[in-house]
Structures are given as structure tokens and as C-alpha cells.
Amino acid sequence: MSGIDIQTNTGLLDLFREQGALLEGHFLLSSGLHSPRYLQCARVLMDPAVATALGAVLADRLRPLLGEVTPTAVVAPAVGGVLVAHEVARALGCRGLFTERQDGRMTLRRGFALAEAEPLIVVEDVITTGGSTREVIEAVRARGARVLAVGSLVDRSGGAADVGVTRRSLLELEVPTYSPEACPLCADGSKPEKPGSRTSR
Ligand SMILES: [Zn+2]
């Protein structure tokens, strides 16, 4: 990531491309839809130095939302958010926790505990509709915690996802999807490929 300015949308896009976290072409998604872009945040987080740097920048963007309050934990949904919570927590000097589904319900396990009225931040790797973020917010509020702010590495919603809490993201990214019948790339004659089929290590 030498020479890349991860403070800017352009620099972040370069970083995601360089890490193979953002592929561009014509892809068949697991949903069956087609897209000109494929996002795999795990590939940008696989380099520990990059993950730490991204966590620090996201923490910087969240700090102005916190007022005088110092968060004592950062919570994310597993699996995608685990490293994001860990790295934002490193930057803020607090605990990094994650929620998991148990019988379909998002919950804190593994002995993770929250104090009554504990101030915390909820983070994600990617926000699309905000659904899993809202589930995490509900899970920690059910334990009595206060959610100060929400952060994500990527916002795929064009800023539209409403999680009921003020939020920030590092990278705004459009990932259009099309049904095979309506796919303009197919109409141009190209064939979709499965993401990962040309990605090595
Ligand atoms: Zn297509």
C-alpha cells in the first residue's frame, strides 16, 4: 500500500483493487445475479498492517461523533466484522467484541459481557441494507449498552442505509446487480465468471 492515500475514496479504491478485494469485470454472484464488480473485504483485511491502518482511519472518522464520551468497546457481527472491530478497538484503546447467530438470533457469546449503559461503537466490513448492523445494535442494547455510532469500511448503500444511529464509512462503493435477463454485460456478449476463479493467493 506504499504511496496510497487511504484517507481518500480514490486511494481506498486503489488499495482495494491492489489487494484483490475489489474485482471488476462480469461476475456471477452467489445470489445468481450478475455484477460488474465483486467485493471481498476479507482480502483487504488479510494483510495485518493494512487492517490496522484501515481501523485507525475509521476510528478517526468516528471520533467526531462521540462528543465527550469514550467508548469502551467496539462490537461487530461475525465473521466479516471481527477484524474490523478488533482494529478499530486497537485504535481507540478499548475492547473488540463480536456477535454471532445462535438459533437465528444475533447474540454475544464466548463470555463477552457489557456493563449497564456501557458506551460502545458498532462496526461492519460492508453495509448494504444495514440489516445485520441493526441486529447487532439490538443485541447490545438488550444487554443495556449505549450505541454511540456505527462505522463500516464500505458503504454499498449510497449513504441510504438507515441504522437509526449516526454512522460513517471509509469507502462509498456502488456494486450494481442485474438479473441474468437484464444484465447489460451479457447483452454485450460477455460471459459472467465466478469470483475467485482467477484470483490466486
Ligand atoms: Zn451478465
CA 194 to ligand 1 centroid distance, Å: 11
Residue 4: its pLDDT value, please? 85
pLDDT of residue 1: 64
Query: How confident is the model at residue 2, as a pLDDT?
Result: 65
Burial of 30 by CB count in 10 Å (0-12 exposed, 13-18 middle, 19+ buried)? exposed
Span from the CA of 48 to the centroid of ligand 1 (angstroms): 34
Distance between Cα 30 and ligand 1 center (Å): 13
Q: Per-residue pLDDT tens, the chain, 201 aa: give them.
A: 667 899 999 999 999 999 999 999 999 998 899 999 999 999 999 999 999 999 999 999 999 999 999 999 999 999 999 999 999 999 999 999 999 999 999 999 999 999 999 999 999 999 999 999 999 999 999 999 999 999 999 999 988 999 999 999 999 998 899 999 999 999 999 999 998 665 544
* pLDDT at residue 195 in the model: 86
Distance 23 CA to ligand 1 centre (A): 15
What is the bridge-based pairing of β-strands 34-39 and 22-28? antiparallel
* Ligand 1 centroid distance, CA of 29 (Å): 10
Helix (H), strand (E) at residue 142:
helix 131-142
CA distance 64 to 175: 28
CATH of domain 42-174: 3.40.50.2020
Question: What separation in Å is there between the alpha carbon of 132 and the centre of ligand 1?
Answer: 28
pLDDT value at residue 144: 96
134 CA distance to ligand 1 middle (Å): 32
Identify which of 134, 165, 169 has the alpha carbon closest to the alpha carbon of residue 154. Answer: 169
